[in-house]
Amino acid sequence: MRKVAYYKGCLASLSAKELDVATRALAPKVGLELEELESVTCCGAGDIHEAEPDYYLHLNARILAYAEATGTDTLMTVCNVCTLNLRQANHALKGDEALLARVNDNLVSVGAPAYSGSVDVLHFLWLVAAGEGYELLKRAAHRGLQGLKIAPFYGCQILRPSKLLGFDDPDRPESLERIIEACGGEAIDYPAKVKCCGFPIIQAREDVALAELVQPIEQAKEAGADAMVTPCPLCHLSLDAWQSKLRKQTGKDFQMPVLHLSQLIGVAAGLSESELKFKRHVVSVEPVVEKLAV
Amino acid sequence: MKVALKIWRYDGATGEKALREYEIEAPEEATLLDCLDIIKDRHDGTLAYRKSCRMMICGSCGMRMDGAAVLACKTRMAEIAASGHVPVISAMGNLPVLKDLVVDMTPFWQKIRAVKPWLDTGYVEPPEKEFVVPQAEMDVIHKESLCIMCGCCVSECNSMEADPDFLGPAALAKGFRFVGDPRDRATVERLQAYSDEHGIWDCTRCYFCNERCPKGVDPRDAIAKLGAEAMREGIDSDMGARHAKWFVTSAKTTGWLRETELVPKTQGVVRSLKEIGFAMSLLRRGKVPPPFPPHVAKDVDEARQLYELVEREGHEGARGIVQLEKPLARLERHEAGYEEAAARGPYGPGSFPKPYLPGENESTEEGAA
């Protein structure tokens, strides 16, 4: 078992609880022992970085410090936006001694642990798409996806900027495809799988966001996908919950089920409904479940 | 070496499109631009593309290779040719194609012009003495000053694809180059103009611009700096700014994002009431967590006190935006054994030249003209 500090972030704590439940249920099957971080806050989602940049750095340093205090070298995330925000802060702090010293002084003065810079921030996807995690995943996915056609949707902030993320080629990523195939599914290829779902501006600029959101869903549908899968709960929220708004805008009712990555692997690994919580999705996952039951 | 290319040919007059394949003999060191020159000189004189300097300075030869915007003169072909892959070359995106690889840059220049890309010093007659700018202050706009206006960022901008009126990454980065310049006297007017409907808050943070920029401008970071400066100046009535502010409020009160209140705080109560039907559809699936009792992070007092501390220290605005090239370069140099090499002296075996990093010589260059 590889012990990792688990930072679930805002969405998996509340509106995307199903992601947290499925990830916890799946973790031991793919060799991960999760130590959940409790004394942590929101990473700021890019918004605090823009509104109060220095506060963003301090909040993220505090998360990294609490992760380090667990004695592990890995902080595991389940959200693209958390991944980018934490990795960005981590690099900034590790690469600038004066900055790290100033932030640490402040952390210690409010009673938080100091951060020495020993933690690596890794998304759950990266832990199961390569190395031992991938070998264990292949074994765990015994139930399989029976050739189900799955459209991988990466989301932006797990690919770009690649100098900070760097696990996949930002234009030709293949980690999700590898996982889909290891689970016995067929990965669908379509151009918008590396594009934006529109979520960051879905409240402030809904029309613009929906014009972005429609592309991956429409292309996945046209390519014959039974479902989409994403490693990001923000992408999941827009792809799943905002799909109904596309009906009004485009006149098309896509009815495209969208799975969290942990759920997709979980299905293949035979997790129960109480561990997958598909009932929490807005677009019904029933057609997928039915296909697999046959 | 043998180089094979597929090029999307396009005739603006007739609207005809065709994917043509070319196979040429080119020197090992050939760039994509060299290959296009060979095609035009020796194989097909009708091929149209833009070029000038051939050395990544003029920004003329932006185009797409396998769907990704590149500068043709910066793209070496040896590895691609050796792999046997035949790349597809096409015109940049988000701009109308005139012929083959030539796009109409008019919309691009209109947006650059819209951000008033000149220094507004606030005086007509020059003062007696020159305006001396400390190096540290120029470092803030160092990256944005590197833009060669090739359009590679605009080509891939996801927001601009959805909203063609979006000012976009190149124009906004140029805007920050002046907002961040201590000699400019139009900062507030600029920030107000850039905060309009198709400005700063239209950016969807897809980071394609940072990924594609051949000069390391990182336009997305420039947009974040504009947002930070706008909020520092109290220009925060746009829904995008209110959205960002709510994250701060959430973090310093409960620690976690107060999701359910985010919609009325961003859109205002009246507008968000129209979303009741939609909210109900989400509520049924547990996607609208009740705001009471609030989800409060353990030890949230630390986050609250940190906010007070940070406010007192005053590192706000664009200067606070993480500038990664410096820490990344330091880390890379560390990994590459630079520090050991540097210790051996500049000309010893295994040494290599030291790259200039903005801000490194702050203490010695402060105040230098």
Q: Do B227 and A51 touch (CB under 8 A)?
A: yes
Ranking A85-89, A115-119, B18-22, B292-296 by mean pLDDT, the lowest is: B292-296
Distance CA B242, CA B226 (A): 15
Q: How many CB atoms neighbour CB A248 within 10 A?
A: 9
pLDDT in tens, A231-278: 999 999 999 999 999 988 888 999 999 999 999 999 999 999 999 999
pLDDT at B294: 87
Same structural domain for residues B98 and B137? no
The domains of chain A are located at 2-124, 143-293
CB B361, CB B135: distance < 8 Å: yes
> Could you tell me which CATH number the domain at A143-293 has?
3.40.50.11810
- Nearest by CB to A55, from B205, B248, B266: name it: B248
Domain containing B296: what range? 239-320
pLDDT at B348: 44
And the tokens for B4? 């094979």
Q: Do B158 and A195 touch (CB under 8 A)?
A: yes
Query: How many Cα atoms are found within 13 Å in the side-chain-facing hemisphere of A79?
Result: 27
- Using the Cβ of B98 and the Cβ atoms of chain A, whether some distance falls under 8 Å is answered with no
User: Please, which residues 142-201 of chain A have a Cβ atom closer than 8 Å to chain B?
Assistant: 156-157, 159-164, 170-171, 191, 195-196, 198, 200-201
Q: What is the dihedral of CA A189, B163, A241, B260, to 10 degrees?
A: 140
Domain boundary, last residue among B208, B232, B256: B232
- Using the Cβ of B253 and the Cβ atoms of chain A, whether some distance falls under 8 Å is answered with no
In a domain, B369, yes or no: no
- How do A2-7 and A32-36 pair as beta strands? parallel
Q: Closest-CA residue in chain A for B327?
A: A95
pLDDT in tens, A7-17: 999 999 999 99
- Using the Cβ of A53 and the Cβ atoms of chain B, whether some distance falls under 8 Å is answered with yes
Q: Look at chain B and report how many structural domains it folds into.
A: 4
Q: Do A163 and B321 touch (CB under 8 A)?
A: no
Same structural domain for residues B183 and B281? no
**Residue showing tokens 């935006």:** B321
Choosing among B248, B298, B334, B339, which should be mutated to test the A contact, i.e. which has the most A CBs within 10 A? B248
Distance CA A78, CA A65 (A): 18
A67 to chain B, closest Cα gap in Å: 14
Distance CA A213, CA A246 (A): 8
pLDDT at B218: 94
Distance CA B338, CA B333 (A): 5
pLDDT, chain A, mean: 96
pLDDT at B88: 96
Q: Do B321 and A49 touch (CB under 8 A)?
A: yes
Same structural domain for residues B145 and B221? yes
Give the amino acid at B286: G
- Using the Cβ of B194 and the Cβ atoms of chain A, whether some distance falls under 8 Å is answered with no
Domain boundary, last residue among B45, B73, B103: B103
Within 8 A by CB and 6+ apart from A244, the residues are A282, B278, B281
- Nearest by CB to A51, from B248, B278, B303: name it: B248
Same structural domain for residues B133 and B200? yes
Residue B126 preceded by cis peptide, ω within 30:
no
- Using the Cβ of B211 and the Cβ atoms of chain A, whether some distance falls under 8 Å is answered with yes
pLDDT at B330: 66
A107 chain-B contacts, CB cut-off 8 A: 302, 306
Q: Average of pLDDT values for A52-76?
A: 97
Give the amino acid at A138: K
pLDDT surpasses 90 at A212 = yes
Same structural domain for residues B247 and B268? yes
Same structural domain for residues B19 and B92? yes
Same structural domain for residues B135 and B217? yes
Task: Give all strands of the β-sheet with A149-152 in edge-to-edge order.
Answer: A186-187, A149-152, A227-230, A258-260
pLDDT less than 70: residues of chain B: 327, 329-369
Q: Closest-CA residue in chain B for A162?
A: B211
And the tokens for A92? 């900034």
To the nearest 5 percent, what fractions of chain A are helix, strand and coil? 55, 10, 35
Choosing among B64, B233, B243, which should be mutated to test the A contact, i.e. which has the most A CBs within 10 A? B243
Q: Average of pLDDT values for A24-32?
A: 98
Q: Do A204 and B238 touch (CB under 8 A)?
A: yes
Same structural domain for residues B112 and B220? yes
A237 chain-B contacts, CB cut-off 8 A: 287
pLDDT at B346: 45
- Nearest by CB to B207, from A49, A157, A208: name it: A157
In a domain, B254, yes or no: yes
Domain boundary, last residue among B103, B130, B145: B103
In a domain, B187, yes or no: yes
pLDDT in tens, B102-131: 999 999 999 999 999 999 988 888 778 878
Q: Closest-CA residue in chain B for A233?
A: B287
CB B101, CB B89: distance < 8 Å: yes
The structural architecture, per CATH, of the domain A2-124 is Up-down Bundle (1.20)
A·B CB contacts under 8 A: 249
User: Of A43, A30, A34, A26, which is closest to residue A5 (Cα–Cα)?
Assistant: A34
B227 chain-A contacts, CB cut-off 8 A: 50-51
Distance CA B271, CA B320 (A): 33
Distance CA B50, CA B151 (A): 12
B329 chain-A contacts, CB cut-off 8 A: 95
- Nearest by CB to A91, from B207, B228, B331: name it: B331
Helices (H), chain B: 32-38, 78-83, 106-114, 135-139, 152-156, 158-162, 168-179, 187-194, 208-212, 219-232, 239-253, 259-267, 269-273, 276-283, 300-313, 325-335, 338-343, 362-365
Same structural domain for residues B111 and B224? yes
